[in-house]
A and B are shown apart, each in its own frame.
Chain A
């Protein structure tokens, strides 16, 4: 059966490179995913105020759409969407009182009890395929490419929705190794990029990004891999601003991990959505002769 797929708003615009490369890779690996026929913004952040139920409506409604479309599992690519949906799902599963209120409020929808399983695609690949099989499917190993796996926050925190142990995560590095790349360890792999603070407190945000980029460069990484459009915005798109305001930050190409996956699977360049990356990313791929155009 096809697996439900929740894209999220950014993947339909600025982060089209995340969506295109992921969907092409999943198809190449033999997984059939199906975008939800109806969906709305997940809300982007999980509301923490105990009495603020209204902000749970958006993610819960998406989960209901997945259930109504007959999906037992729902894949997300963006780690913020993953985090928000997975936490809303837990709330509906375990908090009886809030579940009652939310279901009553959304009486036009089917009642929801947290039945759908929310999965981030990285975790999905590990479980459904495993790194050995992924390695076997690789057509163009990323040999000699030193990649810093950047988790950011939302794949690992809070613990209830972490895709693996937040204390010593290995999944991202295992994934990169399966692609033939060399994962480099760096101390800021799970640091926060400052997320939406880039709007409210720009200088603090640029400083947080500087720290991450410096650490990755110090581990002599060729590139930074990530799975979140907000991280990509802070560390990729705004990298020029980081460099102009902070000393010792070198140019570091950034990629969505799914772009590296698509390259390793030998998929053609048009599945990578490279026009959404910074110029340095494209240059690196050219230098490494990783690009092919479909016949």
Chain B
């Protein structure tokens, strides 16, 4: 006898999505619970794997004044939670000329003068679903320590919740991305293997493959995508693809 789907056997619990009560299976993630309740994602959902940062969610528990956060695709529902997704929060991104820009704190400060509006309230760090020490990396940028800011912000997935809570109105995650770009391209020591790979690509190593893909129909592309070799879950550290094609 085949088993009933999980949604039919799991216990139902009440949750509040944007204030409205729904009964959802207690085993679901917030993202699946929202879909179970009848919503359809056309934004605010990307990788479903905790990487893309599209699904930042805030919630409260009864009797607790604190704001709790999680990625909707990674966080399992709790009874009586009151939640909403904040998939996007407006935050301006400065444009700059990477080639001529100097990798120093003052250059970042010139593009983002609001950096100096930080009062160290720490709301950004408290709201980060990735446990990034946001306030600390902003402090590091302010004193021009780009290497430290890079290190502290490395786990950022750009969900934007920090910007939503900032009383200084900083776009922290854009600032951090700029810092990592500056660090990666201008401060990190060069490595031979990366240089060799960059040269290989610049010399047109992938050009033929790309041209082939461009000519394919959508159906052909779908077939190719589905048939591709994937790294299995919990693969051992030394797992290698069978074919080196495309590497």
Interface residues of A (CB under 8 A from B): 7-10, 12-13, 38-41, 43, 54-55, 57-58, 61, 105-106, 108
Contacts and interface: CB of A to CB of B under 8 A. Distances in A.
B167 interface: yes
A61 B104 CA distance: 26
Interface in B58-93: none
Given A38-B136, A39-B139, A40-B139, A54 B145 contact: no
A12 B143 contact: yes
Q: How large is the interface on B (under 10, 10 to 19, 20 to 34, 35 or more residues)?
A: 10 to 19
10 contacts: A7-B143, A9-B144, A12-B143, A13-B104, A13-B105, A38-B136, A43-B119, A54-B121, A57-B119, A105-B121
A55 B135 CA distance: 15
B118 interface: yes
Interface in B159-182: 167
Contacts of B122: 57, 61, 106, 108
A232 B165 CA distance: 36
A33 to B, nearest CB: 18
B120 interface: yes
Interface of B: 104-106, 118-122, 126, 135-136, 138-139, 142-145, 167
Nearest to B106: A13
Main SS of the interface on chain B?
loop
Contacts of A108: 122, 126
B169 to A, nearest CB: 14
Given A12-B144, A40-B135, 4 more contacts: A7-B143, A13-B143, A13-B144, A40-B118
Contacts of B118: 40-41
Contacts of B143: 7-10, 12-13, 41
B139 A57 contact: no
Nearest to A105: B121
A61 B119 CA distance: 10
Max chain B C-beta neighbours (<10 A), residue from A7, A43, A58: A58
B122 to A, nearest CB: 7
Main SS of the interface on chain A?
loop
Nearest to B116: A41
A58 B120 contact: yes
B139 A41 contact: yes
Contacts of A41: 118, 120, 139, 142-143
B144 A57 contact: no
A55 B144 contact: no
Contact of B120 (A7, A12, A13, A43): A43
A16 to B, nearest CB: 10
A111 to B, nearest CB: 15
A57 B167 CA distance: 13
Given A13-B106, A38-B136, A40-B136, A57 B142 contact: no
B139 A54 contact: no
B76 to A, nearest CB: 24
A60 B194 CA distance: 44
A39 B135 CA distance: 10
A12 B139 contact: no
Contacts of A58: 119-120
Max chain A C-beta neighbours (<10 A), residue from B119, B121, B138, B144: B119
Contacts of A105: 121
A257 B92 CA distance: 43
Contacts of B121: 54, 57, 105
A153 B247 CA distance: 64
A49 B126 CA distance: 27
Nearest 4 CB-CB pairings of A with B? A40-B139, A9-B143, A58-B120, A12-B143
B120 A57 contact: yes
Contacts of B135: 40
Contacts of A12: 143-145
Contacts of A7: 143
Contacts of A57: 119-122
A54 B117 CA distance: 12
A61 B125 CA distance: 14
A8 to B, nearest CB: 8
A10 B109 CA distance: 13
A13 B144 CA distance: 7
A108 B122 CA distance: 9
Contacts of A9: 142-144
A54 B167 contact: yes
A190 B104 CA distance: 34
Contacts of A40: 118, 120, 135-136, 138-139, 142
Contacts of B142: 9, 40-41
